[in-house]
Amino acid sequence: MGVGQKGFTLIEFLVAVVVVGLALGVTIQAVLEQGRATERLAQGGEVALCAQRNMARLMGQPFLAAGVYHGEDVGGVAWRATVRRLSPDPPRDPVARRGGQRRARPTAVLLEISLCAGKKGAGRLCLASQRLAVR
């Protein structure tokens, strides 16, 4: 090229292509990460609903025995609930049964529910609740 000519050289063109390629790569990565974040958020909402539903079902039972309960909810969300007595059973009262009816004896109960959803345990959530149960 002579002096005073305008235009791009091959090197300038290659540099421009590399810069545009890098910018496109960063943009594509950002879009993909946004999609993954949206999927995780939706999955987290599903896990939270499952936890709340099972917590309400178990806490609604009048006599909840200590132990481990587990199952699988809609959408393949596996859940596990552990029920522990926080207060010891009161001493046996020989007059506790009158006329075949149970006498109310309050007992503190701790219910912990944990769930696992998705691949490799993604979406873990643990809820804990306490109630005063009648035994």
62 in any annotated domain = yes
Please check whether residue 105 is in contact with residue 135, taking contact to mean a CB–CB distance below 8 angstroms: yes
Is residue 3 assigned to a domain? no
pLDDT tens for 1-58 read 556 667 778 999 999 999 999 999 999 999 999 988 887 777 677 777 777 887 788 7
129 within domain boundaries: yes
Contact 105, 85 (CB under 8 A): no
Where residue 121 falls (left for φ over 0; alpha for ψ -120 to 50; beta otherwise) is: left
| Residue 4, domain member (yes or no) | no
Residue 63 CA to its chain's centroid (Å): 27
Confidence at residue 107, expressed as pLDDT on a 0 to 100 scale: 57
Residue 121: CATH number of its domain: 3.30.1300.30
Give how many domains the chain has, as a whole number: 1
* Domain contains 77: yes
In a domain, 1, yes or no: no
- Percent with pLDDT over 90 in the chain: 17
Give the domain extent around 64: 10-88+104-134
Share of the chain above pLDDT 70, in %: 61
pLDDT given for residue 61 in this prediction: 79
- Per-residue pLDDT tens over the stretch 55-108: 788 777 777 778 888 888 776 777 788 887 776 655 555 555 555 555 555 556
Answer yes or no: is 19 within a domain: yes
Whether residue 119 has pLDDT greater than 60: no
Query: Which of residues 118 and 110 earns the better pLDDT score?
Result: 110
- Phi and psi for 12 in degrees, rounded to 5? -60, -40
